[in-house]
């Protein structure tokens, strides 16, 4: 019996089946930074634990990093993009204000049957997105969801402000979350927000309150502003609290937790959480030295590295915990369900995947061209004469085809609109 049919009858769980990460090639060390602002390797390492960070090159964007991470995650999960029902991108540095980076990612992957949206919850974004994905799967509205945290913070950091520019880096991490029948995957989540602390970590300019203007640019308000001490105080308190809360919600004991994967903002914040929770330090994943704070991408990148290092095994209980701008925080209790470490995919599968993404690019180009040519050849809506009639017929035919394709897709489900008798008449004409 197929997994899907087996799952549809019993309880539904949401487990991570694929993962991938991508970081830009360009590395910026603390010594490099000391040539740009008044700082030193000694200060940065002793105050944050960061030794270097990856910085987006000219061709890297939040989308290109997201695409690379997502392709890897899909390959590990062993599903094709058309099986995705939903694409969620957690980011504070979207490709554009709109359209969403998630929609652009959906198109780049050829995930033709997926809905897509961006999620903004500061550095807690990935936790929020994973929690939403699990809810969608458990409620029965999705079978496979792609969750990505992708950031190019180097584009919104003020490279003249030593208080902030030393902290952040660029990168992306992605997971595929799939339905499963066995009890595993996301067991509990805790999400929180305190908007009264919004101004502690903020990009004041470029939004509805202060649209981009000469004044905004003069004040450098298009860049990150941060009250480091207050954020530090908030983070040191909220991280252990959220961890304890999610462990309790999952019905576990703290000692049962095999691995905590915290947001990587400052190794002193993580050290404070280790002390407060009383867990051995080797149960925490810490990779901040190499990447700095990559916001929504930090937790999935740390997860990918922990898996690659063999630190995550079937049956392990994990806690993912983050905090960030908003202020927001979130924690997830996760029971690792993947039975064995994923083997490297054979080369021919990678070639096949590359070919698929090539086709997805062609599909996207055809749709763009068709959209551009349509009005020109068919004439504007409501036009008189032959062109008007041609457009009317063509529009109706396109609607029928779209509906029929919807009916053929199993994902469309029982609520999918059926072609009406009128549509059938139109198709016959
Ligand atoms: C930013 C942070 C590292 C600063 O560390 P800190 O120990 O709190 O340092 P302070 O704020 O007390 O500043 C100490 C001094 O170092 C200076 N300083 C700040 N950045 C510096 C840098 N890159 N190099 C050298 N000196 C620096 C400050 O100007 C200050 O000097 P002053 O005392 O003469 O004014 C720390 O507060 C922090 O990590 N906060 C949380 C930030 C965070 O996680 N943000 C993202 C959340 S998702």
Residues 384 and 324 placed together within one structural domain of the fold: no
Q: How remote is the C-alpha of 272 from its chain's centroid?
A: 27
Residues 372 and 329 placed together within one structural domain of the fold: no
Is the Cβ atom of 50 under 6 angstroms away from ligand 1? no
Ligand 1, atom 2, lies closest to the CA of: 228
Say how far apart CA 406 and CA 319 lie, in whole Å.
39
Residues 79 and 123 placed together within one structural domain of the fold: yes
Range of weakest confidence among 80-94, 194-208, 301-315, 360-374: 360-374
Distance 275 CA to ligand 1 centre (A): 22
Interstrand relation of 185-193 and 201-202 (parallel, antiparallel or unpaired) = unpaired
Distance 48 CA to ligand 1 centre (A): 9
Distance 242 CA to ligand 1 centre (A): 24
Residues 108 and 164 placed together within one structural domain of the fold: yes
Distance 272 CA to ligand 1 centre (A): 17
Interstrand relation of 115-119 and 225-226 (parallel, antiparallel or unpaired) = unpaired
Cβ–Cβ under 8 Å, residues 318 and 261 = yes
Is the Cβ atom of 228 under 6 angstroms away from ligand 1? yes
Cβ–Cβ under 8 Å, residues 49 and 267 = yes
What's 85's domain CATH number? 3.40.47.10
Closest Cα to residue 23, out of 126, 177, 168? 168
Distance 165 CA to ligand 1 centre (A): 11
- Beta bridge mates, 329: 192, 323
For the CA of 265, the closest atom of ligand 1 is 44
pLDDT tens by residue, 186-230: 999 999 999 999 999 999 999 999 999 999 999 999 999 999 999
Is the Cβ atom of 243 under 6 angstroms away from ligand 1? no
Q: Work out the angle at residue 342's Cα, subtended by the Cα atoms of residues 341 and 348, and round it to the nearest 5 degrees.
A: 155
CB neighbourhood size of 201 (10 A): 23
Closest Cα to residue 282, out of 258, 315, 309? 258
Residues 252 and 159 placed together within one structural domain of the fold: yes
Say how far apart CA 263 and CA 333 lie, in whole Å.
14
For the CA of 162, the closest atom of ligand 1 is 23
Residues 270 and 398 placed together within one structural domain of the fold: no
Is the Cβ atom of 231 under 6 angstroms away from ligand 1? yes
What pLDDT was estimated at residue 10? Answer: 80
Residues 258 and 204 placed together within one structural domain of the fold: yes
Domain that holds residue 419: 354-428
CB neighbourhood size of 99 (10 A): 13
Is the Cβ atom of 163 under 6 angstroms away from ligand 1? yes
**pTM for the predicted model, two decimal places:** 0.89
Averaged pLDDT for residues 407-413: 44
| Number of domains making up the chain | 2
pLDDT tens by residue, 67-102: 999 999 999 999 999 999 999 999 999 999 999 999
Reported as a pLDDT band with limits 50, 70 and 90, residue 406 is low
Residues 14 and 139 placed together within one structural domain of the fold: yes
Is the Cβ atom of 162 under 6 angstroms away from ligand 1? yes
């Amino acid at each position: 019996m197929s997994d899907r049919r087996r799952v549809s009858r019993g309880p539904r769980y949401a487990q991570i089946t694929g993962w991938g990460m991508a970081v830009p090639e360009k590395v910026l060390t603390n010594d490099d930074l000391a040539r740009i602002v008044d700082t030193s390797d000694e200060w940065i390492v002793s105050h944050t634990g960061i030794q270097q960070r990856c910085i987006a090159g000219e061709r890297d964007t939040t989308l290109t990093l997201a695409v690379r991470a997502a392709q890897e995650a899909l390959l590990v999960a062993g599903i094709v993009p058309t099986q995705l029902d939903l694409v969620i991108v957690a980011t504070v540095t979207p490709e554009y204000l709109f359209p969403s980076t998630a929609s652009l990612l959906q198109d780049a992957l050829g995930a033709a049957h997926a809905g897509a949206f961006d999620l903004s919850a500061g550095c807690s974004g990935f936790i929020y997105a994973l929690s939403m994905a699990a809810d969608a799967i458990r409620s029965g509205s999705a079978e496979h969801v792609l969750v990505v945290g992708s950031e190019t913070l180097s584009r919104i950091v003020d490279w003249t402000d030593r208080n902030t520019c030393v902290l952040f880096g660029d990168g992306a991490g992605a997971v595929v979350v799939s339905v499963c029948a066995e009890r595993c995957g996301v067991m509990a989540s805790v999400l929180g927000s305190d908007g009264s602390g919004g101004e502690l970590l903020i990009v004041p300019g470029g939004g509805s309150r202060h649209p981009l203007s000469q004044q905004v640019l003069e004040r450098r308000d298009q860049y990150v502003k941060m009250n480091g001490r207050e954020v530090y105080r908030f983070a040191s308190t909220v991280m252990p609290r959220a961890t304890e809360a999610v462990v309790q919600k999952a019905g576990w004991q703290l000692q049962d937790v095999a691995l905590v994967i915290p947001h990587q903002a400052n190794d002193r914040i993580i050290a404070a959480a280790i002390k407060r929770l009383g867990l051995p330090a080797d149960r925490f994943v810490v990779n901040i030295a190499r990447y700095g704070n990559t916001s929504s991408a930090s937790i999935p990148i740390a997860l990918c590295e922990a898996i690659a290092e063999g630190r995550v095994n079937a049956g392990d209980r994990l806690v993912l915990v983050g905090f960030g701008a908003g202020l927001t925080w979130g924690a997830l209790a996760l029971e690792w369900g993947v039975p064995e470490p994923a083997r490297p995919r054979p080369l021919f599968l990678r070639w096949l995947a590359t070919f698929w993404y090539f086709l997805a690019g062609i599909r996207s180009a055809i749709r763009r061209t068709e959209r551009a040519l349509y009005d020109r050849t068919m004439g504007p809506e409501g036009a008189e004469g032959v062109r008007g009639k041609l457009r009317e017929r063509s529009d109706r035919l396109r609607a029928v085809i779209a509906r029929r394709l919807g009916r053929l897709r199993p994902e469309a489900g029982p609520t999918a609109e059926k072609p009406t008798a009128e549509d059938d008449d139109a198709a016959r004409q």
